[in-house]
Each structure stands twice: as C-alpha cells, then as structure tokens.
Amino acid sequence: MEKYFNQLLDDIAYATNNISWPFAEKELQLWDWIPDEEENQTAPIRNLQDWTGIQQSMLPPETMLNDEQIHLLLEALNKMLNEYNCCFVLQTAVSERIQYSCIRENFNQDVKVKRWHMGFFETCKPGTEHGKCALGEHCQCAFYAELFKDMIDEDLTPEEERRRELEIEVQHIKRKYGDDWMKYYPYHLDAAYDDEYGNPYDYGFGDEDDDDEDDWWRK
C-alpha cells in the first residue's frame, strides 16, 4: 500500500505540474475578458479524469487509508484542483476524511475550463437528493438551498433586504477568500456599523450627489 500510495502522490503531482489548457496562455488578452455568466455558458468542458489523468478508481476508499495518508492525499488533490481552477471549497467545517470521500466520489465529473473566473469542484452529483451525497449532513447544496429558500417572491422591507444582502455577500466572500474573508467584510451592509448619519462605509455607493471624486483630475 505504501508503494502504491507514494506512486499515487507522484501521479497527482505530475498532473498538477503538467496541465494542458485548451487555449494558449500566450493568446490571453485583456480585451477577451468576459463576465462570469458568459464564461459559464461558453467555457470548454472537460472530464476531470481525462483532463488530469487521475482516475477515480486510482483513489483508494477512505477505509483503506490512515489519517496521515488522508491528510497528504487531500492536500495533494486540493493543490491539483486549484491549479486546474476547479477549486474544492466548502462553506462548513468538514473532517478531512469526509472531504476526501467527497472528492473521490465526485471525481468523475465534467468541469468547465474557465480562465477568467474561479471554477469550482461540484460536491454533489446533479440530481442527488440533498443530504444524500458523500458529504451527508454537511451537504453543500442543502446548505445553499437553506440559505436561499426564502428569496423568491418576497416583499422585503429595505432593512430586511439589506440584511439578506449582507448574508449573501458574506457567504460569497467566505467562498472566495477562505480564511481571509474578514478582510473583505461588507461593513456598508451591516446595520451594526451605522451611525447617526447613516453608514460611514457606504462611500461612493450612496445616494449623495457627490461628484468630487470624478473630476479630481481637472483641478
């Protein structure tokens, strides 16, 4: 097992360092930039197994691995997935063993090859009932469904809407920036940071008709 395990880590490292992109990096021009929505629709699609050369069948079931091996394998897989811009990100704390099982179970998946925006590893197979995937009670789809469940057809007061916006923004930056998320905290959405004049963080986006900023270069 030890020998097989080390070979597997080598194979993953090889895949990490030898990515074949379906577009030439040199041709990447700033004016080719497209919004995320558009990229989601137009990005080339690849099967992760074919693309990385790592087959799901190469990944041992978690029951065959000790904690140290799980840790090393998870680290290697995460590094690889980041290089392929297919980031494995969870919103909730989940043990390494379950994280590994989740990657293993979903490894045979088609991914969008994105070059402008962050791509994510799908943690649930499409059509899987919430909570019945490898993550079980930690199912991320269930987490999001819960978060967004009340969003449709609601009449929100401005205060409620702001609170909802804060909630969504916080989830978004946690997903995007991981442990650094507090650096990007949207103070302007948080009523706790309002003072008697409104919100001091809401510069530039408020209703104030303040165009000083725009013509500083004329002065």
How far apart are the C-alpha atoms of 39 and 117, rounded to whole Å? Answer: 8
**Is 43 among the residues that bind Zn ion (CB under 5 A)?**
no
The span of 58-66, 110-118, 127-135, 197-205 binding Zn ion (CB under 5 A) equals: 127-135
The span of 20-28, 43-51, 104-112, 120-128 binding Zn ion (CB under 5 A) equals: 120-128
When the beta carbons of 76 and 133 are compared against Zn ion, the nearer one is 133
**Is 59 among the residues that bind Zn ion (CB under 5 A)?**
no
The span of 24-32, 64-72, 133-141, 150-158 binding Zn ion (CB under 5 A) equals: 133-141
**Is 124 among the residues that bind Zn ion (CB under 5 A)?**
yes
Binder of Zn ion out of 70, 76, 141, 189 (CB under 5 A): 141
**Contact positions toward Zn ion, by CB under 5 A?**
124, 133, 139, 141
